[in-house]
Amino acid sequence: MSDTIERLKTLIIGSGPAGYTAAIYAARADLKPVMYTGMEPGGQLTTTTEVDNFPGYPDGVDGPTMMVQLQQQAERFGTDVRIGMVTACELSTEVGGIHKVTVDNGAIIEAETIIISTGATAKYLGIPSEQKLRGGGVSACAVCDGFFYKNQDVAIVGAGDTAAEEASYLANICNKVTMLVRKDHMRASKAMQHRVHSLKNIEVKYNTEVDEVLGEQVVEGLRMTNNETGIKEDIEITGLFIAIGHKPNTDIFRGQLDMDETGYLITKGKSTKTNLPGVFASGDAQDKEYRQAVTAAGTGCMAALDAERYLASIGSVAEAIADNYSI
């Protein structure tokens, strides 16, 4: 345990579009932000080969390059970007209180404001061939990557509303969509099931699981197994989309910050304010609806503005109290 405690105006936990955008705005507001990137600097986009839908990149950009550029922009305004993992926190419940976090089970940081941008982790099947081809045709975001498979045959794994919605999205741009459902029924709402079944180029295969993703450098096919009969079947596809959910990276805040049943942080109204003063949440840690780089960046901007206004408000109160004592 470090004997030195560092005091900050603004601490940003996590990187990615939300964290770096928050850093840019916070640094320009002279909040002197310090960012701890977490174990995956740059977040989920570092595993994305092409980002084609972020404004300002007419020719597209690969995810790692985009994250490097965002980091450079944040650092240009004075953000202190540090590699490290926040492993514990003690958040104040008082307005103007000081929040304490532990980094890598050692250094203690005290901060007047905290911006959480820890993101969420897509759930994958965990089979070796799937992991090998992530970024080579295996994706966890149809809206992000579906465009690259226009007029091609693809498959999607999942049975909930998100899977049904993404299957419908893919059906509008792809030649054929094969939907793999592990059980004999879908978990999606009846309305979403009706939408899936109404689209002629979606084939739903029930009691079906992925046995192996075929291909060396890119996805070339899929080997499926019927979990009732044990019969295997191969199909030719160029893209495999996994839609079995995300897990927000918010465990260290459990018991202190309000979150829903799956761990997404709850923010107040249209703001990024959590239930504790001086603590703000942005990006996929609090957004389970959109989960896009551009929306994450937007909430990062909001969080920095909210933090700036919070610090200004407690500063005004402190000045007023000081003025009263001086009378």
Q: Looking at the annotation, which residues are catalytic?
A: 141, 144-145
Four-point Cα dihedral 55, 61, 65, 68, nearest 10: 0
Neighbouring C-beta atoms of residue 124, cutoff 10 Å: 14
Identify the CA nearest to 25 among candidates 313, 246, 300, 232.
300
> What is the spatial distance between Cα 258 and Cα 327, in angstroms, rounded to a whole number?
41
User: Taking a C-beta distance cutoff of 8 angstroms, is the pair 45, 311 a contact?
Assistant: no
| Entry field: residues in the chain | 327
Task: Say which residues have a Cβ less than 8 Å from residue 111's Cβ, sequence separation at least 6.
Answer: 7, 8, 9, 10, 11, 98, 99, 100, 101
- 178's CB contacts (< 8 A; 6+ apart) are 153, 154, 155, 156, 202, 203, 205, 222, 235, 237
Q: Which amino acid is at 233?
A: E
Give the orientation angle of helix 190-198 with respect to helix 161-171, to 10 degrees: 20
The amino acid at 69? Q
